[in-house]
Amino acid sequence: MSVYYKAVLLDKDAIRRAIKRIAHEIVERNGGVDDLVIVGIRRRGVPLAKRIADTIAQMEECNVPIGALDITLYRDDFQNVLKHPQVGKTEIKEDITNRVVVLVDDVLFTGRTIRAALDELIDFGRPKKIQLAVLVDRGHRELPIKADYVGKNVPTSENEMVEVHLEEIDGDDEVLLAEKAS
């Protein structure tokens, strides 16, 4: 099995601009930053959440609390898909009850990750609102889930893959479109 990279969907600058725009939209839509908590979904949602929070903090000159969710234990397919399920740590230090929680992930695809994240989040409290921010929305939803903030909409086919590289994890910033072929 080989993976062929077909195109660069977002380069370093495009990612930076997308994050900046999402940060502005979050502040605008919520009329400020009161009650805001930004929660990234492991793994690549976490650095994205941090970047969004940092951007908002800079713009509004305030502190924006962040958190991290590991949804492995809430997946509906862990016993079928994962040979050695790797469990990371969930870190929600804030009380999220009556707060506005913005969930952050890199790619929105079937929506199942978000479903699991919603379930887990609600075990920590009852937020006033939960909103969703993603860097790339590639379509093919299997659940009725929609993002509130999208870096880029990319129509894809089912056998294509969207690969997100982030400085903090992969050493570079880039979003690539790839296809598997044998």
In the complex, the residues that contact another protein under the rule CB under 8 A are 1-5, 70, 72-74, 78-85, 87-91, 119-120, 123-125, 178, 180
Question: To the nearest whole angstrom, how small is the minimum distance from the Cβ of residue 150 to another protein?
Answer: 26
Q: What angle do CA 47, 53, 56 make, to 5 degrees?
A: 145
| 20 vs 165, beta carbon nearer another protein | 165
| 87 vs 143, beta carbon nearer another protein | 87
| 3 vs 62, beta carbon nearer another protein | 3
- Using CB atoms within 10 Å of the CB of residue 8, give its burial: 0 to 12 exposed, 13 to 18 middle, 19+ buried: exposed
The token pair that represents 4 in the structure block: 């062929």
| 80 vs 157, beta carbon nearer another protein | 80
Question: To the nearest whole angstrom, how small is the minimum distance from the Cβ of residue 6 to another protein?
Answer: 9
Go through 33-47 and write b for each residue having 16 or more CB atoms within 10 A of its CB, e for each that does not: beebbbbbbbebbbb
**Cβ atoms within 10 A of the Cβ of 134, count?**
27
- Assign 4 to helix, strand or coil: strand
Alpha helices in the chain (DSSP H): 12-29, 45-60, 78-81, 112-122, 167-170
- Given the DSSP bridges, would you call strands 174-181 and 2-10 parallel, antiparallel or unpaired? antiparallel
Question: To the nearest whole angstrom, how small is the minimum distance from the Cβ of residue 19 to another protein?
Answer: 24
Question: To the nearest whole angstrom, how small is the minimum distance from the Cβ of residue 172 to another protein?
Answer: 12
Q: What is the dihedral of CA 137, 143, 145, 151, to 10 degrees?
A: -10
| 85 vs 139, beta carbon nearer another protein | 85
